[in-house]
Amino acid sequence: MNEAVQTSSTFTPRVFSGIQPSGGLTLGNYLGAMKRFVDMQEAGTHETVFCMVDLHAITVWQDPAKLQRATRELCAGFIAAGIDPKKSILFNQSAAPEHAQLAWIFNCVARMGWMQRMTQWKDKAGKNSQNASLGLFAYPALMAADILIYHATHVPVGEDQKQHLELTRDVATKFNHDYGVDFFPITEPVIEGAATRVMSFRDGTKKMSKSDPSDASRINMTDDADTIAKKIRKAKTDPEALPSEAKGLEERPEARNLVNIYAGLSGLTVDQVLADVGGKQFSEFKPMLSDLAVSKLSPISTEMARLMEHQDEIDKILAHGAGQAREIAAPILKKTYEIVGMVGA
């Protein structure tokens, strides 16, 4: 028995979240995830653990050299956005093997039917699900392991991850019930703020995504100022002026998206933004949004590029973070093995 491991009444307030190193970071990742990670780190109310989930990335094909680069670039992105390796644990998933080990246990706890209901599985596997990887199907069990191997109490994510977090709660509940323990916490999702679902610039009903074939549909964190301005200028809108209240954005997905982005970048609420820009035409609002986006994003992309010149530093930070992560994860895995009945745990 490892006495350092806690039961649910005494869980340390701890935040965990992950981002896949598959392709570049978008404005959606920044506003929906990273910026909020930084806020939680700075609030100082929780331990904060952030992960580049490379094992999740390979559930669909990744070119090995590109995966390595994307993992380091994502690490540079985290740091450039404000994650401080002295305040947060920052590492890549495969470097802490306890994630994959706990995921196996969870593969045996979670049910096929739960996985089949996941909308991300249905979207990603598409019509040819027989040809999708087994890993893509089991993806949410690995995600539950990412979170629960730290006994994380809170998980900040974008809206699209809500269903996966419900499954994480189901896994924890079933494990605790089946083994008659009170061992894994029932983690709270943190899906807050104006920009938990940043939409495509081409279609206000679709999520902004790094996998969208149209580069004009998104802002990449590596876009330069001219590109950002051009994409915002060309973003789809409607012919009406902006309303003065949030209610006036219902039924106007493109307008709502741009206002949400403005709110997310400025730290204002949607109502505060509209109090200021209500009545303006997009021809006036878009340059304001562009200036704001460039002023917030350019320093991040410049710092990312600078950090990418120092890959040895990045690798050192990742190795250090993995060591810290494993100090928390190893005793929790050991205790899980004991609970399950593994000899020699």
Binding site residues, ligand TRP, CB under 6 A: 16-18, 20, 53, 56, 143, 146-147, 155, 157, 161, 164
Q: How far is the CB of 104 from ligand TRP (least distance, A)?
A: 16
Q: Does 207 bind ligand AMP (CB under 6 A)?
A: yes
Q: How far is the CB of 149 from ligand TRP (least distance, A)?
A: 10
The DSSP-derived string for 253-264 is HHHHHHHHHHHH
Q: How far is the CB of 297 from ligand TRP (least distance, A)?
A: 20
Identified binder of ligand AMP from the candidate list 90, 102, 157, 332, rule CB under 6 A: 157
SS3 287: helix
Q: Which of 124, 162, 280, 334 does the annotation list as catalytic? A: 124
Q: Does 204 bind ligand AMP (CB under 6 A)?
A: no
Q: Which of 207, 231, 296, 335 does the annotation list as catalytic? A: 207
- 207 a catalytic residue: yes
Q: How crowded is residue 313: how many other Cβ atoms within 10 Å of its Cβ?
A: 13
Q: Does 208 bind ligand AMP (CB under 6 A)?
A: yes
Identified binder of ligand AMP from the candidate list 66, 117, 174, 197, rule CB under 6 A: 197
Q: How far is the CB of 195 from ligand AMP (least distance, A)?
A: 6
Q: Which of 66, 162, 174, 210 does the annotation list as catalytic? A: 210
Q: How crowded is residue 24: how many other Cβ atoms within 10 Å of its Cβ?
A: 17
Q: Does 20 bind ligand AMP (CB under 6 A)?
A: yes
- Which residues are CB-neighbours of 156 under 8 A, at least 6 positions away? 15, 17, 33, 36, 37, 40, 190, 191, 192
Q: How crowded is residue 233: how many other Cβ atoms within 10 Å of its Cβ?
A: 13
Choose among ligand TRP, ligand AMP, none what residue 89 binds, the Cβ cut-off being 5 to 8 Å by kind: none
Q: How far is the CB of 284 from ligand TRP (least distance, A)?
A: 35
Helix 134-148 and helix 162-179, axial crossing angle in degrees, nearest 10? 70
Of 173 and 281, which has the nearer Cβ to ligand TRP? 173
**Residue whose entry in the numeric block shows the structure tokens 């699900």:** 129
Please give the single-letter amino acid code of residue 69: R
Of 169 and 207, which has the nearer Cβ to ligand AMP? 207
Question: Sheet containing 89-92: which strands, arranged edge to edge?
Answer: 89-92, 47-52, 14-19, 154-156, 188-190
Q: Work out whether the CA dihedral 283, 286, 292, 293 comes out positive or negative.
A: negative
Element (H, E) at 105: helix 98-107
Q: Which residue's Cβ lies closest to ligand TRP?
A: 18
- Which residues bind to ligand AMP, rule: CB under 6 A? 19-20, 28-29, 32-33, 157-158, 160-161, 196-198, 207-208
- Which residues are designated catalytic? 124, 207, 210
